[in-house]
Amino acid sequence: MSRRLAKLSPYEQHKHLINEYFLTRPGATRWLQRDSSRDKTDHDVIRENHRFLWDGETVDSWEKELAKKYYDKLFKEYCIADFSRYRENKVAMRWRIEKEVVVGKGQFICGSRACEEQDTLRSWEVNFAYLEHGAKKNALVKLRLCPKCSNKLNYHSKKREIKRLKKRERSQKKFRKSGDTEIEEGVTAEEQHDKSKDDAQEIDQAISQPPESTNELDLPSGSSTSAENLWSKGPEIEDKTREEEFDEYLEDLLL
């Protein structure tokens, strides 16, 4: 046996001894298996390094860089919420992924993870307080929920609802804030807006049209002042800007 081993190379001797003496024992093959207890997939790395918001966070490792790339692909206009523990005042939230944006989940479909309601959705603005990597943080997020899920959201405290103003209400609010014009009673915002446009057009025409020239000057009888002296000694008129003329015209209308 020793003569046979002497003729083998060190690597062949190693394989021979392993096969003949080590692997013949029951269960000895487990020593040849690699330890996979510390293996991590990309999903595990993203879960460990994920941030709800990356504002001011430094990216100093490839794990954080991978999590940041995943975060950049999320859509951060509306959130998806989990109300499974809403009675304990615990609501989980996350940003939407591309597939949910395509089907309208969270915007045209209720933002609750387990709800598919599409009618009478309401928008809510929520101060989301969460614990991330041992630090308490908070962020202002928006949710689109059906009436049933809205009650779950406001189970412990009333949240702020975001309401869209109608077109007429927005126009009235805009004209009330403006200091140049006021809305007359009994006149709709659309009619007032059209009236303002017509007034502006009249101003443009009045400014663009030059005054009509006259060939003769009507001078009082007995006056020795000639036309040339009259024009040369007239008062100096300061040039006004377009905005000043527009303001004066509006003041005349409001008197």
Same domain, 94 and 161: yes
Single out the residue of 64, 62, 80 nearest to residue 72, CA to CA. 64
pLDDT at 7: 81
pLDDT at 10: 87
Same domain, 45 and 97: no
Residue 151 lies in a domain: yes
Same domain, 159 and 105: yes
Residue 221 lies in a domain: no
- Distance of CA 86 to CAs 47, 83, 92, 116, 156, Å? 24, 5, 9, 18, 9
Residues 6+ apart with CB under 8 A from 49: 61, 63, 64, 66, 67
pLDDT at 91: 93
pLDDT at 87: 92
pLDDT at 122: 93
Residue 253 lies in a domain: no
The Cα 217–Cα 227 span in angstroms is 7
Same domain, 22 and 87: no
Residue 12 lies in a domain: yes
Q: Greatest CA separation found in the chain?
A: 152
DSSP state string for 36-92 = -TT---HHHHHHHH--S--TT----SHHHHHHHHHHHTSEEEEEEEE-TTGGGT--E
The Cα 111–Cα 75 span in angstroms is 13
Element (H, E) at 131: strand 122-132
Same domain, 85 and 172: yes
Helix 242-254 × helix 189-208 angle, to 10° = 130
Residue 153 lies in a domain: yes
Sign of the CA dihedral running 144, 146, 150, 153: negative
Domain encompassing residue 57: 40-73
Same domain, 89 and 142: yes
Same domain, 113 and 62: no
Query: Tokens in use for 183?
Result: 């809305």
pLDDT at 182: 44
pLDDT at 148: 95
Domains of the chain: total:
3
Same domain, 101 and 123: yes
Sheet with 122-132: strands ordered across: 135-145, 122-132, 160-162
Q: What is the pLDDT along the chain (255 residues), one digit of tens a residue?
A: 577 778 888 898 888 877 777 767 766 667 677 888 888 999 999 999 999 999 888 899 999 999 999 999 999 999 999 999 999 989 999 999 999 999 999 999 999 999 999 999 999 999 999 999 889 999 999 999 999 999 999 998 887 777 765 555 566 666 565 554 444 444 444 555 555 556 555 555 554 555 444 444 444 444 444 445 545 544 555 566 767 776 776 666 555
